[in-house]
Amino acid sequence: MRRREFIAGLGAVATALPVAARAQQRGRMRRIGVLTNLPIDDAQMQARNGAFLESLQKLGWTPRNVEIEYRWGAEFADRNREYAAELVALAPDVIVDMGGSPGLAALQRATRTVPIVFANIVDPVGQGFVEGLARPGGNITGFTIFEYGLSVKWLELLKEIVPGVLEVGVARDAATAIGNGQWGAIQSVAPSFGVELRPVDLHESSAIERTVSAFARGAKNGGLIVTGGTFAIVHRALITTVAARHRLPAVYPFRFFVTGGGLISYGPDLVEPHRRAAGYVDRILRGEKPADLPVQAPTKYELAINLKTARELGLEMPATVLVRADEVIE
């Protein structure tokens, strides 16, 4: 969808803003571009965007002094390139990438001067987006969601809840550095857990059911790890449905997979970085440069369990796991 969006009624808070913020409103109108990988009606994107806008509001940025141009649902490479070019052509003061690595890569190709703040990137140094975490060095900075080492935790968790698992499918987007990085981290420790890994490559929505089903039918005491990436997030409902149909115990990277019916997840809160990203946008709009704003890591990781799904799979969740859970869905 190509239209300017903002929270309705946000301007009403202007009367409650401090004097400095009200004075700021009398200055020129500022412009923020936002690139997302999910459609406007996706519940997860609504939560992320809502947190971002709420934080902007608290910092004094309302429809009276800032306009936001969105490009929603840039899931595919050609759409990312198109939308990135459109946003840069609007000459925004800053662009926020809510679309993960594919969106950020397109923005990086489109401009080396417009400030960019990312909210959910894995390994920004390894992917070439910044020179370093402490000193990003260019026009890009932001917030990471996890390191590849977190992937090992998913395998540990799967073995803890299903000790007898022997073959583990790793659902990944093999066309991306993230997918391969997470696969490599899991592969490096698999022998110590006594499991054999099987790549379950996800790159076409039409092939998800066929690919996951083929692994499930052929696996001996199988389990599934779904790695973090744009493709899995966009198609999370189908992935969790197919895993449940084949009674595959599966570990997911984010909580919203579990609230959607998945078995268990361990990962960062994906809403919080978008709230924090508003702080960097505010600092850039006030004159600071992305090169001087360090890339920051997550401040919170959460373990979520869906006991209903566990019962349907005939699994009894270990007490050692339940006691660590941040959220248990009955």
Do 63 and 168 have their domain in common? no
Q: Beta-strand (E) ranges in 116-160?
A: 116-121, 140-144
Do 71 and 128 have their domain in common? yes
3-state SS, residue 109: helix
Do 73 and 156 have their domain in common? no
133 domain-assigned: yes
Position 73 scores a pLDDT of 87
Position 30 scores a pLDDT of 98
pTM for the complete prediction?
Answer: 0.84
**Residue 77 scores a pLDDT above 50:** yes
Q: Which residues pair with 265 in a beta bridge?
A: 252, 304
292 domain-assigned: yes
| 188-208 pLDDT per residue, tens | 999 999 999 999 998 788 889
75 and 111 Cβ atoms separated by less than 8 Å: no
Position 52 scores a pLDDT of 98
202 and 172 Cβ atoms separated by less than 8 Å: yes
CATH of the domain at 84: 3.40.50.2300
Residue 120 structural domain: 10-145+270-299
Do 135 and 170 have their domain in common? no
| 3-22 pLDDT per residue, tens | 444 443 343 333 333 434 44
